[in-house]
Amino acid sequence: MEFTHFDDNKNAVMVDVSDKDITNRVAIATGRITLCDEAIQAVTGKKIKKGDVLTVAQVAGIMGQKRTSELIPMCHNINLTSSKITFEIEGNDIIVFSKAKTTGQTGVEMEALMGVNIALLTIYDMCKAIDKRMLISDIHLLEKTGGKSGDFYF
């Protein structure tokens, strides 16, 4: 497999997807943030002064998905048909799940990954007054369906 974001002269290019089939495409990504006891209790008890952390992070993650092409230079501007950010809490970890959907000629993996990252960074921002040692980790694509390259499951 070769890289597709370079032309014959090794110049960076946005891939031409105009000849690709329009298919339903879905991507799910995940990541986690580990907080200290005091911070996780403040989040779950909705005691953070900046507001309800998970609600704000959820909106931020959706916004991040929608603006991916503005931040990743070679990403196509994609019309998302669905954007969803959810959370699970395991001990001191908040696990973020980001699901992006479209019907189009290119996938939504970057949008799903961007949603995870922005949600995690929002949690960090809202909790940093309590815990500056939060650890963001395990960011990865869980699955992707649709498109020529086929399905992927982590």
Q: Which strands make up the sheet holding 82-90, listed edge to edge?
A: 82-90, 93-104, 23-34, 135-145, 152-153
Name the active-site residue from 7, 37, 125, 131.
Answer: 125
CA–CA separation, 64 and 60 (whole Å): 6
Please list, in sequence order, all residues whose beta carbon lies within 8 angstroms of the beta carbon of residue 38, skipping any fewer than 6 positions away: 130, 131
Whether 125 is catalytic? yes
Whether the Cβ atoms of residue 97 and residue 83 lie closer than 8 Å to each other: no
Q: Give residue 134's identity as a one-letter amino acid code.
A: M
Q: How far apart are CA 107 and CA 25, in angstroms?
A: 6
Instruction: Map residue 28 onto helix, strand or coil.
Output: strand
Positions marked catalytic: 125
